[in-house]
Amino acid sequence: MTQTFEGLAIGGKRVAAANGATAPTYNPATGEVLAQVAQASAVDVDQAVRVAHDRFSTGAWKQMRSRERGQILGRIATLIREKSEMLAQIESRDGGKPISAARGEIGAVANTFEYYAGAVNKIHGQTIPGNANGTVMTFREALGVCALIVPWNFPLVIAGWKIAPALAMGNTVIVKPASVTPLSALALADLALEAGLPEGVFNVVTGSGSVAGNALVTHPLVRKISFTGSTEIGVGVMQQAAAGIKRVSLELGGKSANIIFADARLEPCVESSLWSVYDNAGQDCCSRTRFFVERPIFDEFVERFVARTQTMRVGDPNDEKTDMGPLITSQHRDSVVNYLHVGDGEGARRLCGGDIPGGALAAGNYLTPAVYVDVKPEMRIMREEIFGPVVCIMPFDGEEEAVRFANDTPYGLSGSLWTRDIGRALRVARAVETGMLSINSSSSVHIEAPFGGMKQSGLGREQGMTALEHYSEYKSVFIAND
């Protein structure tokens, strides 16, 4: 990929930042600069918000027939599929993802737009008989300008989860991608225009969270903020949104449990558990980073899991056979390595991994996957989100202890449990405090179903028809009989 200049996407045009600021975006596998990207200041954000507000107020999008809105969203899905290799290459190079995984993610983004293309004309209010004097009708109305703030771990997938339902409801949007993965959102904005989306309905401001993100969150014309990122930044976003009574949804961090009972089918469990924690090099909010294994099978599980971990192919994302690419930045790898020092210092036993490969991989931010045993619930590596390929495995005795261990965290995003006893599976699934849980599986994402967290993992839900509620408001209209 040659180094290009990538401007902000405002009002259907690509423009430089008003002050001309740019910053490079890098390939985490090689350190190569991929593009110089415009860095929005508060002035650019204000311009983007005013354009989006104007487009919302003039109604070109929200007043379009719902069927036509759906057709445009459907054309976006089609174009994503047609350009999927180009988008997958961008996502792989900007985010260090194995190309095979990046292709899968682009397919998922197309599915998201397709789902909401079909949902557009199935959103309606109710007719509510009030009293003898009349009836209430409810309308589901768009909110206005929505600020969509996206992290770097699944840049286009998560952007799609926000953009598609927001547009389906008739809102206008401004996307703020993470500074280190800005390219795919810009490419999507170009495709949306090609699909016939009116100019200024979907805008992208690239730049830092502290400047561009903050300007969006505090802008008086922004009605809704949908934020995905760390719990720490999410707290600040929510506090700032409070000043303007802005609607907020938050998808935040996680420290999810993987509970394995002694009657689990071990082979599929080991394989699936492996991907549940090492997918995307462990940079996944739904990562099952705390494994609780019932004592009778603890040793056998650990032996098999470590053996399989050591066969994970860490390497060039462009190689179709690569399982794990680099971490997103060298600073982030330093933070993960620091957790390994903390874990070692706390007395946990590292059975494998945590090595920085040399040779051909020395220029990238690579790290081999690490497994800890002899961990205790109070250790930092058991409590804090490491966001890298690091797993802690602990034994448990009985159902009650498994649930207690799983719930011993401020987070509540995802998780898995493995058993052949359906009664126990349902009891434990009901008792674990988490937004999503998979039984005999590690799958967390189903575009048709609500996705989101309990406790400090967030507020609100993405995906499914539920997401549309977060991008609309009810209006009740009373009609008198006489």
Instruction: Pick one of 28, 96, 160, 254: the residue that binds ligand NAP (CB under 6 A).
Output: 254
Whether residue 290 contacts residue 258, with contact meaning beta carbons closer than 8 Å, is answered with yes
162 in active site: yes
- CB count within 10 Å of CB 229 equals 22
Residue number, nearest CB to ligand NAP: 209
Calculate the CA 13 to chain-centre distance: 27
Whether residue 281 contacts residue 368, with contact meaning beta carbons closer than 8 Å, is answered with no
Q: Which is nearer to ligand NAP, 21 or 64 (CB)?
A: 21
| CA–CA distance, 187 with 459 (Å, rounded to integer) | 29
| CA–CA distance, 205 with 272 (Å, rounded to integer) | 37
Q: Which is nearer to ligand NAP, 161 or 405 (CB)?
A: 161
CB of 170 to ligand NAP, least distance (A): 24
CB of 156 to ligand NAP, least distance (A): 12
CA 93-94-98 angle, to 5 degrees, is 45
Instruction: Pick one of 25, 39, 171, 179: the residue that binds ligand NAP (CB under 6 A).
Output: 179
Q: Which is nearer to ligand NAP, 151 or 343 (CB)?
A: 151
Q: By CB under 6 A, is residue 94 in contact with ligand NAP?
A: no
3-state secondary structure of 200: coil
Pick out residues in 232-251 that bind ligand NAP (CB under 6 A).
Answer: 233, 236-237, 251
Q: Which is nearer to ligand NAP, 153 or 419 (CB)?
A: 153
Whether residue 441 contacts residue 96, with contact meaning beta carbons closer than 8 Å, is answered with no
Whether residue 415 contacts residue 433, with contact meaning beta carbons closer than 8 Å, is answered with no
Question: Which span (224-232, 307-315, 339-347, 395-403) binds ligand NAP, by CB under 6 A?
Answer: 224-232
- CB count within 10 Å of CB 374 equals 15
- CB count within 10 Å of CB 468 equals 19
| CA–CA distance, 62 with 44 (Å, rounded to integer) | 24
CB of 93 to ligand NAP, least distance (A): 17
Q: Which is nearer to ligand NAP, 151 or 353 (CB)?
A: 151
Calculate the CA 115 to chain-centre distance: 17
CB of 427 to ligand NAP, least distance (A): 26
Environment class of 396 (CB within 10 Å of its CB; exposed 0-12, middle 13-18, buried 19+) = buried
Tell me which residue has tokens 């599976």.
425
Tokens found for residue 149: 């703030």
Pick out residues in 360-399 that bind ligand NAP (CB under 6 A).
Answer: 385, 387
Size of the site for ligand NAP (CB under 6 A): 32
Tell me which residue has tokens 């409070």.
242
Instruction: Pick one of 209, 325, 326, 412: the residue that binds ligand NAP (CB under 6 A).
Output: 209
Q: By CB under 6 A, is residue 415 in contact with ligand NAP?
A: no
251 in active site: yes
285 in active site: yes
Whether residue 21 contacts residue 178, with contact meaning beta carbons closer than 8 Å, is answered with no
Instruction: Pick one of 453, 456, 463, 469: the residue that binds ligand NAP (CB under 6 A).
Output: 453
3-state secondary structure of 52: helix
300 in active site: no
Question: Which span (53-61, 223-231, 255-263, 358-366) binds ligand NAP, by CB under 6 A?
Answer: 223-231
Q: By CB under 6 A, is residue 176 in contact with ligand NAP?
A: yes
Tokens found for residue 267: 């082979």
Q: By CB under 6 A, is residue 40 in contact with ligand NAP?
A: no
Q: Which helix (H) or strand (E) holds 91?
A: helix 84-95
Q: Which is nearer to ligand NAP, 7 or 453 (CB)?
A: 453
Q: Which of 105, 294, 385, 462 is catalytic?
A: 462
Q: Which of 162, 176, 224, 255 is catalytic?
A: 162
| CA–CA distance, 402 with 428 (Å, rounded to integer) | 8
Buried b (16+ CB within 10 A) or exposed e, 458-467: bbbbbbbeeb
Q: By CB under 6 A, is residue 458 in contact with ligand NAP?
A: yes
Q: Which is nearer to ligand NAP, 34 or 269 (CB)?
A: 34
Show the site string, 139-158: x = touches ligand NAP by CB under 6 A, - = not.
----------xxxxx----x
> Which residues would be at the binding site for ligand NAP (CB under 6 A)?
149-153, 158, 176, 178-179, 208-210, 213-214, 217, 228-230, 233, 236-237, 251-254, 285, 385, 387, 413, 453, 457-458
Catalytic residues: 162, 251, 285, 462
